[in-house]
Amino acid sequence: MTLELPTTRLPSLAEMRLASNRYNWTNAFVSTIFAVTGPIAIILTVAAAGGLSKEIIDGWIFAAFFVGGILTILCSLFYRMPLALAWTMPGSALLITALDHLTFPEAVGAFLVSGVVMVLLGVSGLVTRIMAAIPVGVAMGMVAGVFLPFGIDLITGFGNSPVLSIAMVAAFVGFTAIPALGRVVPPLLAALIAGTVAAIALGDTPSFPSDTTLIAGPMIVVPVFSLAALLELVVPLVISVLAVQNLQGFTVLAEAGHKPPTGMLTVACGYGTLAMGILGSVPTCVTGPANAFLTSSGKREHQYMGGILFGLMFAGVGLLAPMLTQAATTMPRVFITALGGLAMLPVLIGAFRAAFSGGGAALGPLVSFVVTVSGITLFNIGAPFWGVVFGYLVHVGLDRRG
């Protein structure tokens, strides 16, 4: 198997300056804000459940953001498309129950083995063949199911904080409805500004304790290779990366008109997992939500710059982890969910259109969507994976016969 090498030259500085437009800056900023809220909350929840020390938490956040940011910059630059790499949130959630009987070094040992497995799957070409075999409608049904809660949270925000929600949605609608305004200020940026002003007016601003540390640094975790940990964690971790999050990311990118190098990105996730793991973070993945934000607006040929800017911001969050995560986790939740919901609207439209308006049988995509929305977990593996599995089985068994 020959891995997909870059087919275009590196962009010049002049091209990068041209691509550094307000759309890519806004998309990168929104992606970063979203990444340091919900995902950080998952890390903090896992840390609390596992009784992890503050040093381990800061090291985990540093590794996840800094390594992910560097990988994102390199991949986006060499392939000239937005390729955001982060860490697996479903994989993080696995540790909530695992750390009550496994030590953190044992979990790190499982992370490293998972990284080796991903490298082998990517180099062998098996991942590329599996991805190519999954029907687009089934994959997009899963994507629609994963991202639907973003839209629902946007609506429920009106009940939780009507002033903030109305301000953000009104700004977004106004700058969308009047193209002359939208060309000057992207609608999502207008919503961000309106939400910030409304939050300040309501007194919902971030708080910083006096003992907040400014800079985080790496911390080496010596792994322990325990058979119990490997049996419990490696397979669910690999599935959560390759068949859940990477599949989301690849599908979103393809729907936006990009051709992601699935084999090479799988290998990058494997090596990223080795680097993140030894520094105390869960495995690397191609993130669906961040890539959805980065491809939500702007010219397709310029969107790679959004990936580079996101990578720079992501790495910066890693360096400033203690301060920035404190700021992000004390922002109004409605502000984050409204911003994410508005950014996800074009992605949801594309996902539903690709899943259900292709002219073919739609039962497989529908099953994929419904199972994903259900949130079911079987064998420590989350609903998006089972949505694809059951959707594919229905597609093969019923849709093709029809």
Amino acid 147: pLDDT: 82
10 Å CB burial of residue 86 (0-12, 13-18, 19+) is buried
Domain boundaries, the chain: 13-399
Find the mean pLDDT for residues 22-33. Answer: 90
Give the pTM: 0.79
Helix (H, G, I), strand (E, B) or coil at 302: helix
Q: What is the pLDDT of residues 294-336, one digit of tens each?
A: 998 889 999 999 999 999 999 998 888 777 666 666 677 788 7
Amino acid 261: pLDDT: 94
Q: What is the pLDDT of residues 38-61, one digit of tens each?
A: 677 677 777 777 888 878 888 888
Averaged pLDDT score across all residues of the chain: 86
Dihedral over Cα of 108, 113, 116, 118: its sign = negative
The amino acid sitting at 178 is I
Compute the distance between CA of residue 354 and CA of residue 174 in angstroms, rounded to an integer. 28
Strands (E) in 219-337, as ranges, are 284-286
